[in-house]
Amino acid sequence: MAISGNDNSIAAQVLIVEDEPDHADVMADALRKPGHVCTIVDSVENAVDELRHGAFDVVVTDLRMPASAGTAFEDRSVAGDGGNAGLIVLAAARTLQPQVETVMVTAHGDVPTARSAFKEGAYDFIEKPLDLEVFRNLVNRAAETVLLRTRNAELEEKLELSGFEGVVVAS
């Protein structure tokens, strides 16, 4: 877990998977403003490599990445038009770093695609062109979700380890 936070801000490790460098830079700049640390990759293959070797809290991935066509993760391959690349990144994130929340970004939003993304575990879905304030708030909420889940697991572990020795109760 890479996230750190206090009452005022959260600094999350964010993986941005976007095949258009200008879009990736704009997203990273928007997320660095509140203190997130961003890693940018431009393909499904590079995203899977980062997920295998890095530690992230939030993954932001473009849905359609034509240059990733033919790339595979486990038993799934990116379609010839790259239209399902983000779903492959989502599957890799769910497998390799299950605590991660994934935000899908696309210029080609439609109801079936969004439904498929949510069914596979996406945190949320946002369309281009991005409203950077909405985008930043969405990623902040995803990071807060990861932080709360992590803190909850830590508290449950402490409770299990400490048991109830010394607790006096009466009815």
Share of the chain above pLDDT 70, in %: 91
Pick the CATH number of 8-161 from 3.40.50.300, 3.40.950.10, 3.40.50.2300, 3.40.50.2000: 3.40.50.2300
pTM for the model stands at: 0.87
Q: Is the pLDDT of residue 3 over 60?
A: no
Which SS3 state, helix, strand or coil, does residue 17 take? strand
Find the mean pLDDT for residues 121-145: 95
Find the mean pLDDT for residues 122-137: 94
**CA proximity to 28, closest of 9, 46, 10, 41:** 41
pLDDT tens by residue, 75-89: 999 999 998 999 999
Sequence ranges of the domains in the chain: 8-161
